[in-house]
Structure 1
């Protein structure tokens, strides 16, 4: 590329030095040639070069105009001998030499822009020409990496993103890569994540889960396992079919609980029931008689266990050592005794509760709601006593432990009970110490007896 002197000097930069063969006389001559520029002489000797650089940066005239300004050969020689940087020094060019050599340098400077060799019209620095021709030039010839067809740079840009041979991941996230031209067919026919309707229940499922759905789909047609005259039925109807409809399924007689041992297919069951009516009636009568006897026995036992008119109950606690060991390992473990005088409940803590925890046996009484609360007198006002029996072989030497209390009628736990959860009740957290149990005969054969007495004759006046 051919430049005029004005073109390749208007962006010149001068090093901060002056050639040693330049004299102050030449500076004076330059000042005389260009009276419009005032030189500034300094200790770093940059005045002459700065004047010339300012003049050339503001001068856009032709070479003839420059010659007219500097008609003196000596002045021109001084200017052309000035040391300058390459006009591309900011881009990274390190060249620096006399001004007369700048034009020759620019013909080879790798940072200087030249027309694209493929004639795309762009001005490209020599150092970037190779990359331009290979990657960005609209006139370059290149091949698509997917279909291997040749394109110009401009047409390749339009082709990229539309090439049918470009491999793409399926949009359904099945993990498969397919060519763009086959992508639509893949999503419709091959993708494991496409939605497919179940051909039995018509609900939609992901393709790779459809087989698992068929295993449990209620509408899948199956055969009766008894191979009856029903050829096909839905899986969800099989249970009802076997119980109510299958003619060959084996069933027990409906009087099985009464003692009939017959088993047979449904078509034979009707005949069996018709032919054995008398036998079935006899079995049912025997079963009713047996049940009546059992009901009477249970009623009698229940009556003996649940009714207590004296208000006194002896509580036998067996295997006390095992219960004590369990209570020490299980926090809050309690034994319960109940009876129906006033729906009382008596919690006993083998390892203690509250102030007696880990050192005493604790006993309490709690009033529970019952069916006849409306007929009873409230608040609860009967005296309560707990007695731990000394099982000494000599009754005269026995020393029982007795604790009793009279209820405070103003205390809410002795009012008519509600269904809501309540506290323990009232009692003795330090009923008897664990050490005291070992000193006397309160336990014998690992069993102790506690009497709980509610005395209805002692009623506190309210």
Structure 2
């Protein structure tokens, strides 16, 4: 199916019967013309294709159609000018009458071409990207996808009110399975479903009765206080009533005595003056506080700006340091590769090389090398290469003082490595000899022994294409605490002896004399 971008033409598959007149085809993208235009050479293009053609700012270009040649010089390609390209409305009208159908799977829409562009963006069968997880989903299935399937859709948690993604939902619910028991003095947490059993088992009913009794006592105390307050209010109201009656009884007998209305008015004026004075005082106080806060706010803003500048400077320093660290790590990796290469060359020339499939590796300075491995430096070490025979398999051992994989930090890990040898073409592949590791006891005690037979399907035992294959062996060879334990005889004078034995009984030695059958052949 032809692709359809916002600039190129429409896919030819939309035409009913998939038969499209070539005059409707863009001479650049090969699709049905979209907003057709025509150049002076007679070729037609999509408007978007022309915009892409001239996007570098040039005013003239060779015609994109390979066999469009100049009329005056048939050896030269035809040149089209951006200023001489015009809309082809006649072709557009013809295209609009063409019968087409929707190419989205399961969509049954069909109609005229001019209706297709308005249908396609709203087609319910159109594939669209899920805004949450990025998966392609049909538009008519998007709501169900977000509701039931999408791993990134957010769901409200009824316990805490937070929005949790569907993929994290089960793990989040684990945090709500435990509740704090209010009756346990130590704040014990109990599984929500087992809370009722816990409450009965611990006999917390006493706690409930005590809580109810305390609540009842508090309610009685509050009721008593409310009764006292009510009696006091009633006494005050009665006293005020008596004063009002006395004032009314002596109403107009003397000109020097104020009537009740005048007295109330006077009281209101006094209260208003007192209130205004207090408001003025408070306003002045608040204005002083506001000015002080304003000055402090300016200081805080200034300090924040300084901190932001400092943060930006520190970010630049951190970015620069990170770049330097990356460069140093790259240099370190290169140097480590060179060191390993040099070590291998030295090992190849080592006089201790054996040719019988048995090698005893004296590994010294164990504790120092283990500490380096714990710090992430020199996590593994290779032994001297050894051979099954002078013209046989080339091999070595690899030892991790602080363990590797499942044994990291807890075990000594040892592995067997098949190396690229000079006589590999004469060997049988894959390598299938039994390998035995033996950590020798230096005080005549028990040795630690483990062995394995190679997996013929593993790439570790195929014919090496590089310097050596991937190591394979025993990540849980011996526990580190047992190894360094005093008096066990495995580690003595900070040295261990690892014996590697390769069963070579059924290996054909290329240096052995040829039998009579081979000689006749």
Asked which structure has the greater CA Rg, the reply is: 1
What TM-score do the two structures reach when normalised by structure 2? 0.28
| TM-score normalised per structure 1 | 0.31
| RCO higher in structure (CA 8 A, sep ≥6) | 1
